[in-house]
Amino acid sequence: MNALNFEIPPGTAIAVSMPDVLPAVKPRRGLTGFIRRQPTLAFGAFILLVMLFIAVFAPLLGTVDPTAIATARRTRAPSELYWFGTDMLGRDIYSRVFYGARVSLIVGFSVAALSSIIGLLIGLVSGFVRGVDSLIMRTMDGLMSIPPILLAVALMALTRGSISNVIIAITVAEIPRVARLVRSVVLSLREQPYVDAAIAAGTRTPAIIFKHILPNTLAPLIVQASYICAGAMIAESILSFIGAGIPPSTPSWGNIMAEGRALWQVKFYIVLFPAIFLSLTVLAVNLVGDGLRDMLDPRMAKDV
Amino acid sequence: MLLYVLKRLLTTIPVMAIVALFVFSLLYLAPGDPAAVIAGDQATTAEIEKIRQSLGLDRPFILRFFEWGWHILQGDLGQSLFVNMPVRSMIAERIEPTLSLLVVTLVLAIVIAVPMGVIAAWKAGTWVDRVIMAFGVFGFSVPVFVTAYLLAYVFALELDWLPVQGYTPLSSGIGPWFVNLVLPAIALGCVYIALIARTTRATMLEVLQQDYIRTARAKGLALPGILFIHALKNAAVPIVTVIGLGIALLIGGAVVTESVFAIPGLGRLTVDAILRRDYPVIQGVVLLFSFVFVLVNLLVDLIYTLVDPRIRY
């Protein structure tokens, strides 16, 4: 009588089956498992989702028209009626802050996406085409020696303030860093045996770039993109704050703080609320970046 | 060594040339006709054309670029469009507060951040490390003007320990000068401190695992000596690099910090110039700051050889 269904010769001693010394590791699945394994990423993503929710559903979250001017109720302190108070023109700061989430998120994500794509292309070309490499890299060096905010400020001085111009200005300032990162990854990948093998096998250069090089640049690029997203949100608020960004009629966190600047010593809440939202959002994006870095590249995790 | 310095200086020339080309294109592409602005509202087209010719605005781009570059090399940054003053004197008037702010921030940040990073690496995994690293993340996420307003509100308005705004020139005494700069420098330095502390911790973690550190401990050297002399010296290159690159953050942040604390420096000048679209001034400031940034990073390359004798050129 045994499980294997063959005859055991009489008189044979059979070893008792061993108890399970090491119980099988059951990786936790689903949301709780994700939160346990990547607490930083989960926390950052949670705050970011809340901000995304606020931005998308701003009109439904008890807000009023964020541009409605009512001089009769200027600079009211936060109260039941005006949760975050009102500004110098009597506009409801709660509504302005909620609508302002849209500007920050749009600018942050657009700059991250655009500068990643353009920087990726430049970096790939530079890393693979010897002839143009030094020309491209010297140009990037030149652009990188202009402090990014000043570069964006200088570009904004050329045009009217608008969301798309702000996005373009910050993107231009961020491209060199992405291009450098991609190029350095490409250069180290080119030395890999599997790339040599592909070349030896007669694979065409475009196929090598897109099949063998590109996929391996994506992990560091995504991590970099999340930090760029955070940086772009800060840059947008700085540009708007100094009057070189989003036009003042559009509520953005930088604009609200700029309007509160004259009165900050007496009406601190005007700058306080947009400041809290901006910091929280940037923190969330940075945490997502840290989390992604730990997840995508465990070697880097112990470093920082 | 001297040869290396010369070589390194030569490589900065093309970089600065590209910066200059970019900055010049800015003025070239700027909307509005300087000739029309100078001629005034009542000018006829013929008069505007005459002014344009006298200013040399009708000549080709590349010719004007080289002419402009030649003036820059001689220290002539052009004339402001709105204030009847050369850009160079406008910058000279405003440079002291900005330079003071940057230097005080730099010194404060290094003095605070490097020990923070060293301690975090030494106490890696403990609550001390966690607190410092949490600061590292927060410091990096809170924009400079948020820190600036919070600090000013708490320490100047509520507690009344430090002046709220303004700047006292160095000529009226080092005490008042410093007192006015403390809050702006800490506000501006937060991002920088976070950046330096994170890098210090990361490189120190690696160095502390080396054999010679264990040897030093085994022969009974005092811990501070090991950490700050043996280990820190070997971790210095990435730290110095990040200090140099971070200057770009400081320069960008200075523009905002000066606005919040009403410091009459180059940042204020830049903001005013943007609002008035005073392109020659914007050009001058961008060019100057980029030049400073390039020089600082040249200096960083030279410091490598001082802190790490293994690097020889």
Q: Is B29 near chain A, with CB under 8 Å?
A: yes
Interchain contact, B252 vs A283, CB within 8 Å: no
Of residues A237 and B57, the one with the higher pLDDT is A237
Task: Please give the distance of CA B241 from its chain centroid, rounded to a whole number.
Answer: 14
* Token pair listed for A142: 């030149």
Question: Does residue A93 surpass a pLDDT of 60?
Answer: yes
CA-CA distance, A239 to A283, in Å (whole number)? 19
Q: Which of B271, B273, B290 sits opposite A145 (nearest CB)?
A: B290
Predicted confidence (pLDDT) per residue in B225-247, tens digit: 777 777 888 788 888 888 888 88
* Token pair listed for B273: 């110039």
Interchain contact, A238 vs B144, CB within 8 Å: yes
**Per-residue pLDDT at A15:** 72
Question: Half-sphere exposure of A91 toward its Cβ, with a 13 Å CA cutoff?
Answer: 22
Residues of A with CB under 8 A from a CB of B: 138-139, 141-143, 145-151, 153-159, 230, 234, 237-238, 241-244, 257, 261, 264-265, 268, 271-272, 275, 278-279, 282-283, 286-287, 290, 302-304
Q: Which chain A residues touch B202 with a CB distance below 8 Å? A: 303-304
Q: Is B176 near chain A, with CB under 8 Å?
A: no
Would the ipTM clear 0.90, i.e. be above it? no
Q: Do A151 and A143 touch, CB atoms closer than 8 A?
A: yes
A92 - beta bridge partners?
A86
Q: Is B118 near chain A, with CB under 8 Å?
A: no
Residue B72's contacts (CB-CB under 8 Å, 6 or more residues apart) are: B20, B287
CA-CA distance, A263 to B149, in Å (whole number)? 12
- Per DSSP, helices labelled H in chain B are 2-29, 34-39, 45-55, 61-73, 87-122, 127-141, 144-151, 174-207, 211-218, 223-225, 232-234, 236-260, 266-276, 279-307
**Per-residue pLDDT at A268:** 75
Question: Does residue B221 surpass a pLDDT of 70?
Answer: yes
Q: Is B196 near chain A, with CB under 8 Å?
A: no
Predicted confidence (pLDDT) per residue in B248-291, tens digit: 888 888 888 888 888 888 888 888 888 887 888 888 888 888 88
Nearest CA in chain A to B286: A150
C-alpha distance from B147 to closest chain A C-alpha (Å): 9
Residue A109's contacts (CB-CB under 8 Å, 6 or more residues apart) are: A229
**Per-residue pLDDT at A304:** 41
Q: Is B30 near chain A, with CB under 8 Å?
A: yes
Nearest CA in chain B to A149: B252
Sign of CA dihedral A70, A72, A74, A78: negative
